[in-house]
């Protein structure tokens, strides 16, 4: 049997161990990203972006994309990659250079809050081809259906795939061509898909997407 002294020693050690454990600070929880400031986002957007993309994100120039109602994670990613040079565009690289991470988030979330104006398809002869590719892909070339990632109505999937519905056909065609030709290199999946499309198919897809809503 243990002596009384040994029992007191064990009890004292246990108490000391508990005290050390109790006084050890708990690991800090990861810091949460600051809530986007939409007022600052609107101000930054007006100063830097509105001239090309429209006052409310609905660009009136076919060469410049509509940004209204786009998923914020996608917008932030593109701004980061313009700034880093991963996505090459001389104009956008210059515009994004002065933006901080919080500026990007503020702008992106403000744009998300603005409703996108609907677009429309223009070429009746090719829109049927665009619909077939968008909804069913091209099986013999292993081109997947666009709807699988960007959703049947072009709304995309938040934080994963961008919204396409209503986008200018000219802009959408230019991006698909850039992916195909290796000019735009910031999405390997899109590069692989676009590599299997010819000019007529790209034009048809872009026109179909413009009319989605």
Per-residue pLDDT reduced to its tens digit, 6-64: 434 344 444 444 333 445 455 555 556 679 999 999 999 999 999 999 999 999 999 99
Across residues 160-169, what is the average pLDDT?
Answer: 97
Of 167, 187, 191, which is closest to residue 61 (Cα–Cα)? 167
**Residue 64 backbone class (left: φ over 0; alpha: ψ -120 to 50; beta: rest):** beta
136 and 200 share a domain?
A: yes
Task: Tell me the average pLDDT across 102-122.
Answer: 97
Residue 142: phi, psi to the nearest 5?
Answer: 55, 40
Nearest to 70 by CA among 117, 135, 127, 122: 117
What would the pLDDT profile of 168-198 be if each residue is shown by its tens digit? 999 999 999 999 999 999 999 999 999 999 9
pLDDT category at 71 given cuts 50, 70, 90 is: very high
Same domain, 129 and 104: no
Q: Is there a domain that residue 30 lies in?
A: no
How many domains would you assign to the chain? 2
Which domain CATH number covers 197? 1.10.760.10
> Is there a contact between 168 and 62 (Cβ–Cβ < 8 Å)?
yes
Q: What pLDDT score was predicted for residue 24?
A: 47
Residue with tokens 């959703």: 151
Residue range 62-70: average pLDDT?
A: 98
Domain span at residue 88 reads 38-112
Mean pLDDT of the chain: 89
Single out the residue in 71, 86, 112 at which a domain terminates: 112
């Amino acid at each position: 049997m243990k002596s009384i002294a040994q029992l007191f020693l064990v009890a004292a050690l246990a108490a000391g161990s508990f005290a050390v454990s109790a006084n050890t600070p708990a690991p800090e929880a990861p810091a949460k990203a600051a809530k986007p400031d939409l007022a600052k986002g609107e101000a930054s957007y007006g100063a830097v972006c509105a001239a090309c993309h429209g006052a409310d994100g609905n660009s009136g120039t076919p060469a410049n994309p509509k940004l209204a109602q786009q998923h914020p994670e996608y917008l932030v990613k593109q701004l980061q990659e313009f700034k880093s040079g991963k996505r090459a565009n001389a104009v956008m690289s210059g515009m994004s250079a002065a933006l901080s991470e919080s500026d990007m988030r503020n702008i992106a979330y403000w744009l998300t809050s603005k409703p996108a104006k609907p677009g429309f398809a223009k070429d009746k002869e090719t829109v049927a081809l665009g619909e077939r590719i968008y909804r069913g892909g091209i099986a013999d070339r292993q081109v997947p259906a666009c709807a699988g990632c960007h959703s049947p109505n072009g709304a995309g999937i938040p934080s994963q795939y961008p919204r396409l519905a209503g986008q200018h056909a000219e802009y959408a065609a230019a991006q698909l061509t850039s992916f195909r030709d290796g000019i735009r290199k910031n999405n390997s999946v899109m590069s692989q898909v676009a590599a299997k499309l010819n000019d007529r198919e790209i034009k048809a897809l872009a026109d179909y997407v413009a009319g989605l809503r």
